Amino acid sequence: MKKMLRYLNLATIILFMFCFGTGCKNLNENTYAEQYLKLNSLELYNPYNRSTPTKSDYIITKYLNVSCPNCVRDIKQLSAVGKRLPNCKIRLVCQSEDKFLYFRFLIDENKFSQTDFPFLLDTGNVFSKNNPELKMDLSKVVIITNNKDKILKVVALNEKLIEKTINEL
């Protein structure tokens, strides 16, 4: 038991050092001049028949592992962001390690019925390969683009930070 606690403490320290030491250091710097988000090879999944806004000033894109029970909590946070920022379109790119079985179970249980956006399934796990300029842990950030998918900012997944960044653009 003590050995397991030691490993957990060590893992927490390493994760903390990674995120705050390197992984999140330059997220607010715009280093993506003239780079566009590539969304080819994604499958639209719209279980609640949500329509996406045809006109939006900005698009907030989140890449998410929907096989991970802790990760799917981000869907509710993104939904809240979308409600607070009506001039933004929310786009959730979903990656799965279990062929979307856990995610579809949650959908069948209406766990995300309050979301106002459809989902994009990365069935071939190609999103990160198609966007090599995003050299970071995509699970911890959102990508803000204009309506032509030009990357404007990459920021940490934090409601207030996202709202502040959108208002500053």
List, for residues 29-48, the tens digit of each pLDDT value.
Answer: 445 556 888 888 899 999 88
The DSSP bridge partners found for residue 59 are: 89, 145
13: amino acid identity, one letter: I
Q: Which secondary-structure segment (H or E) carries 106?
A: helix 101-108
86 phi/psi in degrees, rounded to 5: -65, -15
Domains assigned to the chain: 28-168 (3.40.30.10)
Share of the chain above pLDDT 90, in %: 31
Mean pLDDT, residues 127-155 taken together: 86
